[in-house]
Amino acid sequence: MMTVPLQHALYLAIVLFALGVTGVLVRRNLLFILMSIEIMLNAAGLAFITAAARWGQADGQVMFLFVLSLAAAEVSVGLALIIRIRHRLTTLDADAANLMHG
Amino acid sequence: MFFLVLVPLLPLLGSALLTLSEGRLAPRLVAFVGVGSVGLSALVATLIAIAFLTGPDQHLTITLWQWIRIGSFAPTVSLYLDPLSLVMMLIVTIIGSLILLYAVDFMAGDEGYSRFFAYMDLFVAAMLLLVLAGDLLALYVGWEGVGLCSYLLIGFWYQDPANGLAARKAFIVTRVGDTGFILGLLLLFTQLHTLQIQPLLAQAQTSWAVSSLPATLAAALVLTGAVGKSAQVPLQTWLPDAMAGPTPVSALIHAATMVTAGVYLIARTHTLFTLAPAVLAAVGVIGTITLLISAFAALNQTDIKRILAYSTVSQIGYMFLALGLGAWGAAIFHLMVHAFFKALLFLAAGAITMRLHHEHNIFRMGGLARRLPLAFWSFLIGSASLAALPLITAGFYSKDAILAAAWAPGGAARLLWLGGIVTAFVTALYIFRAVFVVFFGTAKTEPSGRYSWRVAVPLTLLSVLALGGGLVETPPVLGDITLFSRLLAPVFPTAPPPAPVMLILFTAVISLLGLGLAYTLYWRIGPRFAAWANAPPITAFRTFFAEGWAFDALYHQLVVAPFLALVSANHADIIDRFYTGIAWTCRWLHRRLGAQQTGQIRWYASWIAAGSVVTIAVAVLR
């Protein structure tokens, strides 16, 4: 069985995270922003799994389960908010939801 | 003797009743309350006087309540009755009720009828508190109370802005003196730890040496207050303008009572002044300067009330002159007699103007002796008393006592005597000028209406007092009556020596000469003299005198103009710049920081990302 080197997995996690951040910052559609956040969460989860495999500890896998449930909760709240915003502003443009500017 | 409380309380209640009724009472009822409260107070005062004079006590104190207690500062509200305050109390209540009775007719039909009596009653109450107070702080309350009433009554006809201006001028100019007075009170309290007048004076005598600094300073500050209230140089400018008020106000407040409060104050605290001979000398000098200046000013007035106003200033100058020589009794004697004849003169002047459609210019009167006999005889008697015509008038005896006191010490005091005797001559001249111009010659305005008993009774009674009021104290050669000085002996133990006969004769001749000159100039050669006096070089002098020696112009240059310049320079308020600067900075920061809150979620996310990068970088690279 071929083992994936630790560093490769971490590089993947970094790339994924960077993709997620870029997505959050550049996309204007709220759905895409939510998806980008999911990617960032999964990047963090991947880093946990990799670390757990490297040191043979179960903590990282437990942590990943937490991240998964957190992501599920976040998505349900986030989607509910998106539905409300869509209902109120008739758009999913994040820049249009700037009613609380100073 | 607890009834003494009723004396100031009754007018106060009358004032409160009239104030709370808000002018809804019928005029008859207003007059009843207004005059009745003061009349009742006069009755109580008279009964108290009888009981006091037949009783064994030389003075009595009634402590009503402790006002406040802050550490050792514990002023009480107390009434103090001794012969001096007794005399003042009787003057205020009796003359006050006569003048108020007169005012019932004088003010009839005025829309502020109820307001007038409310103010007048309040004034009487405050004045009684002033003269009866046993504590300097309570005295100060009365002192400010009469000042307030003076302000309210000068500006009584407030629709005319000039009256409001005169009222403010009176208030502000006396405030200068009052500031000195309150500083004096603070000094007395911090040095002697009490404000009860009698203990304070006793303690001043034991703890301060003659001419010591605190004694001199305290006496000077008290004098400042007295000078302001009694319209002496250099704070005399307010009184002639105060004639803007109704004539009964001028008679009661600006002639008989309030303006003499300064004289009373100095007499009340005379122990303090004997500890400060320099200040006492200043009192005499101020009095002499004032009486000379204002007598010449009175000689050149055309408004009958302004003649009397300058005359009041001048006569109070006599009282100050007497005080300055330590002749306390003579000052109070003249205060009393002056209250009689000057109230009479003002009421007679009011009796003329109310029949002449409020004409005040004496040169538009004339020939009134036949037409208004009551006003003529009252004015004549008042003038005779003011001019101190010998033997028959009260003013002769009181002025004689002052001039005798000025003559007695010799030396530099003779200069004060000279000022007094010159003024006695000018006094006779200016008041008989008014008499000849107003009552003789051709009539220029026809009188209308008639007098009721409410005008006649005060004029008659005051005429009797102005003639006979002096018979309580006469020099040795003229009966040697010493009722008044024996009455005041517990307060003023030492009396100045009586006048020599030659001096009395000289004084009498001087006043008769003044009368004769007035007769010559304003009656016998009247038109020719008027033509001479109205020639250009003379009129320049006369205008200078008529404007009160240009004191108003001087104060305008010295005080008013610089103040206005300062105000206009500081129009934008320099001090306020600092506070507007703080507000401006806050607003600027608010705008800067508020601009960061764009409401753009991606903008916030960028900051979070950037912040995280920086934090991690710092954590890793450190």
What is the SS3 assignment for B302?
coil
The residue written with tokens 């005319």 in the block is B160
- pLDDT exceeds 60 at position B261: yes
Gap from B607 CA to chain A (nearest CA, Å): 10
Note the pLDDT tens digit of each residue in A9-62: 999 999 999 999 999 999 989 999 999 999 999 999 999 999 998 888 889 899
Using CA coordinates, name the residue in chain B closest to A94.
B601
Q: Which residue of A has its CA nearest to B602?
A: A25
Euclidean distance between CA atoms B159 and B150, whole angstroms:
17
Four-residue CA torsion sign, B559, B565, B566, B568: positive
Residues of chain B with Cβ-Cβ distance to A98 below 8 Å are 598-600
Q: What pLDDT shows up at residue B432?
A: 93
B606 touching A (Cβ < 8 Å): yes
Give dist(CA B37, CA B27) in Å, integer: 15
Taking one residue from A and the other from B, the number of pairs with CB-CB distance under 8 angstroms is: 35
The secondary structure element, H or E, covering residue B62 is strand B60-66
The residue among B238, B220, B241 whose CA lies nearest residue B229 is B238
Among A21, A94, A102, select the one facing B601 at the smallest CB separation: A94
Mutation to test the A interface, candidates B600, B608, B612, B613, most A Cβ within 10 Å: B600
Q: What is the pTM of this model?
A: 0.80
Smallest CA–CA distance, residue A32 to chain B, in Å, is: 12
pLDDT winner (highest mean) among B146-155, B355-364, B523-532: B146-155
Question: Each residue of B216-255: pLDDT tens digit?
Answer: 999 999 999 999 999 998 898 999 999 999 999 999 998 8
Q: A90: alpha, beta or left, given left = phi > 0 and alpha = psi -120 to 50?
A: left
Tell me whether B600 touches chain A (CB under 8 Å): yes
Distance, CA of B183 to chain centre: 20
Peptide bond into B234 cis (omega under 30): yes
> B105: part of which helix (H) or strand (E)?
helix B83-106
A99 and B CB contact within 8 Å? yes
Question: Quick one: what percent of chain B has pLDDT higher than 70?
Answer: 100
- Which range is least confidently modeled, B68-77, B422-431, B604-613? B68-77
Query: Nearest-CA residue of chain B relative to A26?
Result: B602
Taking CB atoms and an 8 Å limit, are A97 and B601 in contact across chains? yes
The closest CB to that of A21, out of B598, B599, B609, belongs to B609
Sign of CA dihedral B404, B405, B406, B409: positive
Q: Measuring CA to CA, which residue among B293, B527, B286 is closest to residue B427?
A: B293
Would you say residue B58 has pLDDT above 90?
Answer: no
* pLDDT value at residue B486: 85
Q: What is the reported pLDDT for B47?
A: 94
Length of chain B: 622
Residue B70, phi then psi, degrees to nearest 5? -130, 100
**pLDDT 10s digits, B351-398:** 998 888 888 888 888 888 888 889 999 999 999 999 998 888 899 999
Q: Which of A25, A95, A97 sits opposite B605 (nearest CB)?
A: A25
Is the torsion defined by CA of A70, A73, A76, A82 positive or negative?
Answer: negative
Q: Is A33 on the interface with B (CB under 8 A)?
A: yes
Contact A102 B600 (CB under 8 A): no
The residue with tokens 């104060």 is B555
C-alpha pair distances (Å), B165 with each of A81, B161, B173, B177, B304: 72, 6, 12, 19, 20
Tokens 């976040």 belong to A74
User: B597 CB near a chain A CB, below 8 Å?
Assistant: yes
On chain A, the residues whose CB falls within 8 A of the CB of B605 are 24-25
User: How would you class B557 by CB atoms within 10 Å of its CB: exposed for 0-12, middle for 13-18, buried for 19 or more?
Assistant: exposed
Q: What is the mean pLDDT of residues B490-508?
A: 83
The stretches of chain A forming alpha helices (DSSP H) are 6-26, 30-55, 59-89
Complex ipTM over 0.95: no
Chain B stretch 408-437, residues whose beta carbon is closer than 8 A to a beta carbon of chain A: none
* CB proximity A24 to B under 8 Å: yes
Mean pLDDT throughout B173-192?
93
Enter the tokens of residue A81. Answer: 């908010």
Q: Does pLDDT of A2 surpass 70?
A: no
In which band, very low, low, confident or very high, does the pLDDT at B19 lie, cut at 50, 70 and 90?
very high
Q: Which of B315, B225, B327, B333 is nearest to B270 (CA)?
A: B327
Burial of B454 (C-beta count, 10 Å sphere; 0-12/13-18/19+): middle
Nearest to B235 by CA among B307, B293, B305: B293
Q: What's the rounded Cα separation, in Å, for the pair B58 and B491? A: 9
A1: confidence class by pLDDT, cuts 50, 70, 90: low
CB-CB: which of B594, B596, B606 is closest to A25?
Answer: B606
Q: Where would I find the H helices in B230-276?
A: 238-241, 247-251, 261-268, 270-274
Q: Does A28 touch chain B (CB under 8 A)?
A: yes
What's the confidence (pLDDT) of residue A102? 66
CA–CA separation, B107 and B240 (whole Å): 21
Q: Does A102 touch chain B (CB under 8 A)?
A: yes
Q: So what's the pLDDT on residue A67?
A: 93
Question: With an 8 Å Cβ cutoff, are B599 and A33 in contact?
Answer: no
Q: pLDDT tens-digit profile of B93-128?
A: 999 999 999 999 999 888 889 999 999 999 999 999
Model pLDDT for residues B389-442, shown as the tens digit of each residue: 888 889 999 998 899 888 888 888 889 999 999 999 999 999 999 999 999 888
Distance from CA of A66 to the nearest CA of B (A): 22
pLDDT at B268: 93
The span from the CA of B318 to the CA of B50, in Å, is 30
The pair phi, psi for residue B196, each rounded to 5°, is: -65, 125
Q: Please tell me what DSSP assigns to residue A4.
A: P
Q: What's the pLDDT score for residue B494?
A: 77
Rounded distance, CA B154 to CA A30, Å? 80
